[in-house]
Structure 1
Amino acid sequence: MQEKIHSKVVCTVAICDSLARPLLQNMMQFNGLHGCGFCTDPGTNVPKGRGMTRAYPYKKDFVLRSSTETIEQAEHAFQNKKTVCGVKGPSILMCIPNFDIISGFIPDYMHCALLGVARQIRLWVESKYHRYPFYLGTQVERIDSRLLPIKPPSNISRIPRSVTQYKFWKAHEWFAWLVFYSVPVLKGILQEQYFLHWCLLVEGIAVLTSQSISEEQLYHCEQVFIHFVVLTEKLYGTEHVSYNVHCTLHLVKSVHDWGPLLAHSAFLYESYNGHLLDMVKGTLAVPLQMCRKFLMEQSLKMFKEKLHNTPAEKLFLSF
């Protein structure tokens, strides 16, 4: 007797970087006015280098966005053909049942903290910052002498690479550097005020990537990240309070809603991107190549399972 099983699929979380998120939400990008998809902070334009950049210095009274208000703003924006508080208009994702257009998105820590804020290391080693007290360009050999001999356990897939190669570090390397290596490596080399500031980021990410997090720890991390953002402006200047730095303020709510950061990050999808690239063997019809090989893999798995349960195979294995 065949049994019918009815399954309901519910979309709960959308994981993407800060470039794709505003496109999906139909909002302003992070370098525009009210460019944060999680709060209504307008940001501010400040000079940086030869141009301008949008910075997000900490504001105590910033207001979190809500799904209901955002949908109303989208309707007004559509009717008046004018952006309302960073909302350009309706998003097709608003039609998905039970999906929250605001809390359904997360400030992916892989892009935000690891490939974003942790890259602050460039301020320490790039020669154009040689006049600043945080400059470590002359200490690279000393840093490497501590970093390179480290032998990580088997659950860390890559061995440490020189800080001079930081532009080529992968997200897993940034995680290992941030959470495991940086504190013992930088202690006594980076000036104390900058070192303690860096430790705030390390502590916050280390706690939020734990498997079990208490309400007290969440509150503590919230204060840690506030302190981190405030000190970033004081120590490095307003122009370096980037959108990624600002997004650390939203990590705690993300964990409160959906669990530890490791449970909802882009690591899984980024890893599979490499597998998809291996499916491409030519320059023509790339999407079609991926689809065919993906379907072939899935078919082989199904065929293997079906074959495994046949009497003929069992008979063959008995010999």
Structure 2
Amino acid sequence: MQGQKKADVHLTFTMNTDGVSLFTSSKKGRLTVTTSNGSVVLVRAKLMLVSVDLPARALVLNMKQFNGKYGCSICLDEGESPAGQPMLRFYPYKDTSTPRTHQSMLTDARKVVMEGGTVSNCVASRGIKGINPLMMIQYLDIPKATVVDWMHNVLLGVTKALLTFWINSKYKDRDFFLLVTRYFNCFIFFKLKKKPFGNV
């Protein structure tokens, strides 16, 4: 790595991997790792997915947060607010929802830039407030690459809530309740009512 100039860093990714020594990056993103036998290996990395919580997702994608109009990074729905609670926004499932695409994000970002959008004047086009660093990665399809935040949605949030609704006996009279029985070492789920899940 001798003779290389230190590049300006605009976006920093932190690696938390045991056994990887500190490294310097070049404009080509070179990373060398010294193995246990002393040989030096050049490692090439490619960003495949982005998994962040919702507030961080809004920052990374330079878009409105989950509680703002068009704050969903997956669809182009405006969302709804309960009466008298403008800071609360939810995105109910609709068969007519238009998915947000990589191209639509680029188009909205260009529109904001052309209109002179800045952080201070809060111009946004369908939730997009301007360009973001991920748009510079040509192979990355941003809506598909920003995946569900595993910790909050699966371990702490949505999955826990769904399981509670499905199997807690206090919901036994509701359409979504599932009867759980144990058969040897297996749990078997039964739908008590014949109503489809889509109507819940």
Q: Do both share a fold (TM > 0.5)?
A: yes
Question: Are residue 192 (structure 1) and residue 159 (structure 2) matched?
Answer: no
Look up the match of 2:94.
59
Flag the structure with higher strand content: 2
Listed as ranges, the matches of 1:1-319 within 5 Å are: 5-47=41-83, 51-52=85-86, 53-80=88-115, 81=117, 82-118=123-159, 120=161, 178=163, 183=167, 186-187=168-169, 189-193=170-174, 196=177, 227=198, 230-231=199-200
How many angstroms does 1:15 deviate by?
A: 0.8
How many angstroms does 1:6 deviate by?
A: 4.3
Distance 1:198 1:117, change over 3 A: farther
- Equivalences, count: 140
More RCO (CA 8 Å, sep 6+): 1
Matched-pair contact (CA < 8 Å) for 2:171–2:177: no
Other structure's SS at 2:75 match: coil
Look up the match of 1:306.
none
Paired amino acid for 2:131: P
Paired amino acid for 2:143: I
Matched-pair contact (CA < 8 Å) for 2:102–2:142: yes
Matched-pair contact (CA < 8 Å) for 1:11–1:98: no
Tell me the C-alpha RMSD between the 2 structures. Answer: 3.1
Q: Unaligned 5+ residue runs, structure 1?
A: 122-177, 200-222, 232-319
Matched-pair contact (CA < 8 Å) for 1:65–1:102: yes
Matched-pair contact (CA < 8 Å) for 1:34–1:86: yes
How many angstroms does 1:104 deviate by?
A: 1.1
How many angstroms does 1:191 deviate by?
A: 2.9
| 1:102-126 Cα shifts (integer Å, max 9, x gaps) | 21100224312443335659xxxxx
Paired amino acid for 1:29: Q
Separation of aligned partners in 2, 1:45 and 1:198: 34
Paired amino acid for 1:14: V
Flag the structure with higher helix content: 1
Distance 1:191 1:94, change over 3 A: same
Look up the match of 1:309.
none
Look up the match of 2:29.
none
